[in-house]
Chains A and B, each alone.
Chain A
Amino acid sequence: MKKIEIKMPALKSDGGPIMLCRWGAQPGDRVETGDVLFEAEAAKTVSEIEADAPMRLTALLCEEGDEVEPGTVIATAEVEAETE
């Protein structure tokens, strides 16, 4: 398994903090491609952020309601390691 970091995307073109509103999964949960990892709100817009690959969440580093800067690591997960 390969460990990965999940970061808050840059949702606003002018930067600034983004609120993490809701986690869509909890540590230990397996998440499939397209499942909602979390929802975030910035600039009066609520965005669902989906998993781009199957993974198992290992830790959540932010609480619902926290405001974080884009690029902040907000969770960790494990994905299948790629094989040659």
Chain B
Amino acid sequence: MIYIDTRSEDIAYNLAAELYFATEKLPGEDAFFMWRVTPTLVIGKYQNALEEIDAAYAREHGISVARRLSGGGTVYLDRGGWQFAFVTDSAPGASGSSDSPGSNSCSDGAAIEFSRFVTPIVAALRQIGVNAELTGRNDIAVGGRKICGNAQYRIKNRTVHHGCMLFDTDIDELVRATTPKAYKIESKAVASVRERVVNVKDVLPPERAGMTAEQFRDEIVFRVAHRRYEITPQDRARIEALADERFRAERLLYTLAPKFEMEKVVRTAGGAFHIGLTVKNGKILSCGVSGDFFGAPDAAERIGDALTGADYTPSAVREILSRFDGLLFRADAEELTRGLFE
């Protein structure tokens, strides 16, 4: 097991580094990562961003938002927590031909396996005196309170296993930041599960009291990996390109959720806009607008028509709504866009 230190607190760069070593530069043995980031909300690959995050709260508190490639629910990360990742070959048979009658002609997808990755972390925690245990949901807990959630993605016969370890995370902020606004949304997206949590720092044995976050990382890395790999300038250039392509673009936050229908009322000084949207694959399939706002007589219909077919991203919607700024009374594109996305 090699340890790859990304030396970065940029969520996009770190997620891209894992993808790079899973699909492009295969290190020849299993790889282990352990990194942390500035305050960030990370949603699961097939979650609906609007259902999971309070975008206004995140913006006002300087919290970044990103989408990862693994499944599961939304997590709040800060510099008090550590994200670890294993990048390995998938279990044998993960992409073998099915030999059952009426062959599937697709990879048979070996059963999802967490213990291979979580067990060494539990063992390392126990060695430093943390009474950690694996739970039924493949989380790591101490005394029934979660300290680490886990998720995976499998791509090209490789598995990337993520763990989100609370060491000294701001738990109050975690709770506030992962409580979304109540929207009326009908969707089939993956929903988050909210559980009781605790920081590792608060369950350390007395002889380890005072351990810093960096010391904690070193203790885990020492027990899981046996040598280090230093990222080269060539690696870094390619990882940055992957970060731009797969993790930094605004559209990635909004385009991966399954089809959903949403109704919102955006209240402005010029009146209320009732907006109904159907969104699929990041495109607005249909949009109906009504309300008691003041504007040109056919403004509602024209806004709905203009938004139908548009990309469902704040920048695309803002650009379209800006064409109506002169036709609406005391309501503008920025206000309506924020109302729709926050």
Contact = CB atoms under 8 A, between A and B. Distances in A.
Interface of A: 4-7, 9-13, 19, 21-22, 34, 37, 39-53, 55, 63-67, 77, 79
Contacts of B45: 21, 41, 46
Contacts of A5: 102, 104
B107 A52 contact: yes
B81 interface: no
B109 interface: yes
B154 A64 contact: no
A72 to B, nearest CB: 11
Interface of B: 44-46, 69-73, 95, 97-98, 102-109, 111-114, 138, 149-156, 187-190, 256, 258-259, 280-281
Contacts of A39: 46
A65 B190 CA distance: 9
A46 B106 contact: no
Given A46-B152, A46-B154, A64-B259, A9 B72 contact: no
Given A6-B105, A9-B107, A43-B138, A21 B258 contact: yes
B246 to A, nearest CB: 14
A34 B105 CA distance: 11
B71 A46 contact: yes
Contacts of A47: 109, 112, 153-154
Contacts of A4: 102-105
Contacts of B102: 4-5
B111 A12 contact: yes
Given A19-B190, A46-B154, A51 B105 contact: yes
Given A45-B71, A65-B188, A12 B258 contact: no
Nearest to A63: B259
A50 B98 CA distance: 12
Interface of B is mostly: loop
Contacts of B156: 34, 48, 50
Contact of A52 (B46, B70, B106): B106
Contacts of A66: 188
Given A21-B45, A48-B156, A43 B112 contact: yes
B132 to A, nearest CB: 19
B106 A9 contact: yes
Contact of A48 (B46, B103, B155): B155
Contacts of A49: 106-107, 109
A55 B105 contact: yes
Given A63-B259, A64-B259, A44 B138 contact: yes
A50 B72 contact: no
7 smallest CB-CB distances across A and B, nearest first, come from: A65-B188, A65-B258, A44-B72, A9-B109, A45-B152, A44-B151, A13-B111
23 contacts: A4-B105, A5-B104, A7-B104, A11-B112, A22-B46, A22-B256, A41-B46, A43-B112, A44-B73, A44-B151, A45-B112, A45-B151, A45-B154, A47-B109, A48-B156, A50-B107, A51-B105, A52-B98, A52-B107, A63-B258, A65-B189, A67-B188, A79-B105
